[in-house]
A and B are shown apart, each in its own frame.
Chain A
Amino acid sequence: MPEGTLCNRQPITTDEQLKLTLSDKGGRQYYAEMEQLEVDTDKLWTAIQNTMKSRLKTWLNVCAKCGLCADSCFLYECNGRDPRQVPSAKIHATLGEIVKRKGKVDNAFMRKCMDIAWSWCTCCNRCGQFCPHGIDMGVMFSYLRGLLFSQGFVPWELKIGSGMHRVYKAQMDVTTEDWVDTCEWMADENSEEWPGLEIPVDKEDADIMYTLNAREAKHYPEDIAEAAILFHVAGENWTVPSEGWEQTSLTLFAGDWEGCKQNVLHVYDAIERLRPKRVVGTECGHAHRATVIEGPYWAGREDGQPPRPFLHYVEWLAEMLRTGRIKIDPAKRIKELVTLQDSCNYVRNQGLKNITREIMSYLVEPGYFVEMAPNKEYNYCCGGGGGFNGIGKYRPQRNIALLKKRQQIMDTGAKLVVAPCHNCWDAIRDLEEEYPMGIRWSFLKPLVIKMMIVPDHLKPQDEEGEE
């Protein structure tokens, strides 16, 4: 069988195909078909010749196999320092081989590559900081994932994830109607506690356009309400687009390059249509990487920038706290040991390390903030990045990967972890589930809402009861 009905080289583009793939319990049929999937070696080699740019070629060639990158990789450390987990070894065993054999590889080899690309590397880009030649395996593995995706060798959940984006323009089946309705619902639900609270949809020329993660619309709309409350208290003139609001990109994790471009263009189109002065994205890390750091290149923007200045949530929040547009009640500052998860995707990839610490300085009583070690751009991946969290097939490997973060958190002695990135938040939740250690974790929004001083004119009238 050259191609299966579920596992094949075509990305999912229709609702029927999506539902069909979803209905396959745990991807059983999908993975069975994958064992028979034929590798289109000509296509693979053509793709390499057309897409593998000089940087990647050079990297493959200049790698001295010196092993200096070994200790940088948390997966190498968590897996008993298995030499096969050394970043350079991983890439030479996969991409290196494909290139060496000019694409003439077989099914079993491709499946091995898939295992390595999605369960031996989270594309956290940490190793790139240690290689004397600046070789970044995270980038190489992202590229490898693209090749694998184009041949149909991609984990079931990510095939679905990329299909969701293509069919629904969101990583979950949230339609435009659902989304707009959710905004109304949240404004309504919170309007008593926050008189005048609005979630304006499609307002043109606002100061800020807000984009987010479809998971929030689907399962945790409070996050949208919380964003609205904070914009409201800060007095922002803001809006959300009815289309182009979903900022995440499972296509990025999947290696679906074409899908990546489509996703980011939805957001950019919304920016062009509504002409906000600035855009603010939610706390999600990879969404930021997809829309702000890599997105401009996918979209072919020459200046390497999104159409308007695009802030990560921590940048906006820090600005509000710094300028006093949101004020923290000193009495409510955190007075227990608390640590901070630095997200690879906006800390290592964009350098937002000091700004998150500035936020902590407003929220935490001096002396109670403890750093993880290492931290900032040297922080380790949460263990669930790059799609790792979502892939059932690699759950055992993911659980091993969590151990590094566990150790880091335990070493701080903190019982509260601030994890702005959604994916990190999830990984830390799962960490507590797998290896209970009695910790709590939080996004920034609910923390700030609990701690801020609400100006009198924004409080509900007649709120007080007896005395």
Chain B
Amino acid sequence: MKKKILLATTGSPASFGAARVAFEMARRYDAELLLFHVAGVPKKGFSYQEVSDVRSQEAVSVDEDYMAWVEEELKTTYAKQLEDCNNFRILLATGLPHREILRVARGEDVDMIIMGAHSGDSSAVYSKGYPGSTLQRVAKAAKCPVMTVHRESASYMGGFSHIVFATDFSKQSESAFKYALSMAKEFDCEMTLFHALDITSKVLAQSDIEDKLISLRKRLRDVYGPKMGDFKNFEVDVWEGNPYVEIVKIARERMADLIVLAHNTRELDPEQASMGSTLEQVILRANCPVVSVNRPDKV
């Protein structure tokens, strides 16, 4: 199967981890890599001769020279990786980053988006009227899996040996599950099916918690067991606590190199979801790449 991977990059160090994984995955899958960069956000009442540069926030007028310069910058930034990559294209756009990432992902019908978590972007003045970080918005709406690599140390070092699939039993989680299973099969690695019992908002007696854990483990087995087919290398587990903490904890304990989960929140306003979604918190804290899958289309 011909695969297409979209690396959405700011070209800044924050996205180096993501870039590393993207190049590695492209090589492994023999995929085409699209290096995508949003050069700036339109200023001046969205007239598009002038944008504020995504990185420096300075006003620049967009013309061929500027775009050529941006492309050259990207090529220099990734010079080493590009040497070994023979199937790539550089794509540039101006606009609100999340929207342009989704636009190109749709237009190019990509199989996966890889990006850095880059949490600082939602504070910029241009995006204040639009709630949600770039990542949240992309993860919510993308049709394909979105892989996020928050820090360089989390970047893929070659081979997957253990995948943690975290579920909240939502509909979106079904797609995430399918993806996690196909990855586990493809790389022939171990898989942990995990659920975190959220006890942060309620007070439960220890015995109640124990009971719930037992029934949830059963539920995990009942729901996913029959779907595992001939794949046997998996275990199920349920821990109680704050979901994102538990997901990160089990990933560390199992020495997982990939976490797969659904981005299952409709709330984009960071002020409303003050702690951010589980997904975002997992991404910020995990020491391995995190894939979010919301839709059945590309799994």
* A348–B168 alpha-carbon span in the complex (Å): 52
CB contacts (< 8 Å) of A57 on chain B: these are: none
Which listed residue (B47, B99, B102, B170) contacts A390, Cβ 8 A? B47
CB contacts (< 8 Å) of A450 on chain B: these are: 269
Given contacts A157-B44, A463-B171, contact A429 B128 (CB under 8 A): yes
CB contacts (< 8 Å) of A185 on chain B: these are: 103, 106
Instruction: Judge whether B118 is part of the interface by a CB distance below 8 angstroms.
Output: no
CB contacts (< 8 Å) of B83 on chain A: these are: none
CB contacts (< 8 Å) of B65 on chain A: these are: 25
Chain B's interface size range is: 35 or more
Instruction: Judge whether B287 is part of the interface by a CB distance below 8 angstroms.
Output: no
Least CB distance, A225 to chain B, in whole angstroms: 10
Asked if A193 and B129 sit within 8 Å, CB to CB, the answer is no
Instruction: Judge whether A464 is part of the interface by a CB distance below 8 angstroms.
Output: yes
Which listed residue (A193, A429, A466) contacts B169, Cβ 8 A? A466
CB contacts (< 8 Å) of A161 on chain B: these are: 47
Chain B 282-299 interface mask (CB, 8 Å, partner A; 1/0) = 000000000000110000
Given contacts A161-B47, A172-B48, A465-B264, contact A432 B63 (CB under 8 A): no
* A85–B47 alpha-carbon span in the complex (Å): 28
Asked if A221 and B99 sit within 8 Å, CB to CB, the answer is yes
Asked if B141 and A189 sit within 8 Å, CB to CB, the answer is yes
Instruction: Judge whether A389 is part of the interface by a CB distance below 8 angstroms.
Output: yes
Asked if A426 and B195 sit within 8 Å, CB to CB, the answer is no
Instruction: Judge whether B50 is part of the interface by a CB distance below 8 angstroms.
Output: yes
Instruction: Judge whether A26 is part of the interface by a CB distance below 8 angstroms.
Output: yes
Tell me the chain A residues, 216-254 only, with Cβ under 8 Å from chain B: 218-222
Chain A 9-23 interface mask (CB, 8 Å, partner B; 1/0) = 000000000000011
Instruction: Judge whether B253 is part of the interface by a CB distance below 8 angstroms.
Output: no
Instruction: Judge whether B96 is part of the interface by a CB distance below 8 angstroms.
Output: yes
Instruction: Judge whether A441 is part of the interface by a CB distance below 8 angstroms.
Output: yes
Least CB distance, B9 to chain A, in whole angstroms: 20
Instruction: Judge whether A154 is part of the interface by a CB distance below 8 angstroms.
Output: no
* A464–B266 alpha-carbon span in the complex (Å): 11
Instruction: Judge whether B131 is part of the interface by a CB distance below 8 angstroms.
Output: yes
Least CB distance, A461 to chain B, in whole angstroms: 8
* A463–B103 alpha-carbon span in the complex (Å): 26
Chain B 71-108 interface mask (CB, 8 Å, partner A; 1/0) = 00000000000000000000000011001001100100
Instruction: Judge whether B187 is part of the interface by a CB distance below 8 angstroms.
Output: no
Asked if B64 and A389 sit within 8 Å, CB to CB, the answer is no
Instruction: Judge whether A384 is part of the interface by a CB distance below 8 angstroms.
Output: yes
Instruction: Judge whether B145 is part of the interface by a CB distance below 8 angstroms.
Output: no
Chain B 49-82 interface mask (CB, 8 Å, partner A; 1/0) = 1100000000001011100000000000000000
* A218–B168 alpha-carbon span in the complex (Å): 36
Asked if A429 and B106 sit within 8 Å, CB to CB, the answer is no
Instruction: Judge whether A83 is part of the interface by a CB distance below 8 angstroms.
Output: no
Tell me the chain A residues, 388-407 only, with Cβ under 8 Å from chain B: 389-392, 395
Tell me the chain B residues, 26-59 only, with Cβ under 8 Å from chain A: 42-50
Instruction: Judge whether B125 is part of the interface by a CB distance below 8 angstroms.
Output: yes
Instruction: Judge whether B136 is part of the interface by a CB distance below 8 angstroms.
Output: no
Tell me the chain A residues, 71-97 only, with Cβ under 8 Å from chain B: none
Which listed residue (A23, A446, A460, A463) contacts B131, Cβ 8 A? A446
Return the chain B residue nearest A214 by Cβ: B46
Asked if A426 and B63 sit within 8 Å, CB to CB, the answer is no
Given contacts A172-B48, A219-B46, A390-B47, contact A25 B129 (CB under 8 A): no
Tell me the chain B residues, 236-289 only, with Cβ under 8 Å from chain A: 264, 266, 269
Asked if A465 and B129 sit within 8 Å, CB to CB, the answer is no
Asked if A429 and B99 sit within 8 Å, CB to CB, the answer is no
Asked if B168 and A466 sit within 8 Å, CB to CB, the answer is yes
CB contacts (< 8 Å) of A466 on chain B: these are: 168-170, 195, 198, 216
CB contacts (< 8 Å) of A177 on chain B: these are: none
Asked if B266 and A442 sit within 8 Å, CB to CB, the answer is no
Tell me the chain A residues, 101-119 only, with Cβ under 8 Å from chain B: none
Asked if B45 and A390 sit within 8 Å, CB to CB, the answer is yes
Instruction: Judge whether A302 is part of the interface by a CB distance below 8 angstroms.
Output: no
Instruction: Judge whether A456 is part of the interface by a CB distance below 8 angstroms.
Output: no
CB contacts (< 8 Å) of B42 on chain A: these are: 219
Instruction: Judge whether A372 is part of the interface by a CB distance below 8 angstroms.
Output: no
* A172–B45 alpha-carbon span in the complex (Å): 12
Instruction: Judge whether A277 is part of the interface by a CB distance below 8 angstroms.
Output: no
Instruction: Judge whether B173 is part of the interface by a CB distance below 8 angstroms.
Output: yes
Asked if A26 and B128 sit within 8 Å, CB to CB, the answer is no
* A222–B130 alpha-carbon span in the complex (Å): 10
Asked if B102 and A220 sit within 8 Å, CB to CB, the answer is no
* A189–B49 alpha-carbon span in the complex (Å): 29
Least CB distance, B25 to chain A, in whole angstroms: 25
CB contacts (< 8 Å) of A411 on chain B: these are: none
Most chain A CB inside 10 Å of its own CB: which residue of B45, B48, B130, B195: B45
Return the chain B residue nearest A173 by Cβ: B48
Asked if A426 and B99 sit within 8 Å, CB to CB, the answer is no
Least CB distance, A137 to chain B, in whole angstroms: 23
Given contacts A429-B125, A463-B171, contact A389 B195 (CB under 8 A): no
Asked if B45 and A384 sit within 8 Å, CB to CB, the answer is yes
CB contacts (< 8 Å) of B266 on chain A: these are: 193
Return the chain A residue nearest B125 by Cβ: A433
CB contacts (< 8 Å) of B198 on chain A: these are: 466-467
Asked if A219 and B99 sit within 8 Å, CB to CB, the answer is yes
Asked if B128 and A423 sit within 8 Å, CB to CB, the answer is no
* A426–B45 alpha-carbon span in the complex (Å): 6
Can you name 15 A-B pairs with beta carbons within 8 Å? A25-B65, A157-B44, A161-B47, A189-B102, A219-B42, A219-B96, A220-B130, A221-B99, A222-B130, A389-B44, A389-B45, A392-B61, A432-B128, A433-B125, A464-B170
Please name 9 further chain A to chain B contacts, defined as beta carbons within 8 Å, in addition to the given A192-B295, A466-B198, A466-B216, sorted by A numbering.
A25-B65, A157-B47, A221-B99, A222-B99, A426-B45, A432-B125, A441-B128, A465-B170, A466-B168
Q: Which residues of B contact A (CB under 8 A)?
A: 42-50, 61, 63-65, 95-96, 99, 102-103, 106, 125-126, 128-131, 141, 168-171, 173, 195, 198, 216, 264, 266, 269, 294-295
- The list of the 10 closest CB pairs from A to B, nearest first, reads A465-B170, A465-B168, A389-B45, A390-B45, A433-B125, A390-B47, A215-B46, A426-B45, A466-B169, A390-B44
Q: Which residues of A contact B (CB under 8 A)?
A: 22-23, 25-26, 157, 160-161, 172, 185, 189, 192-193, 215, 218-222, 384, 389-392, 395, 423, 425-426, 429-430, 432-433, 436, 440-443, 446, 450, 460, 462-467
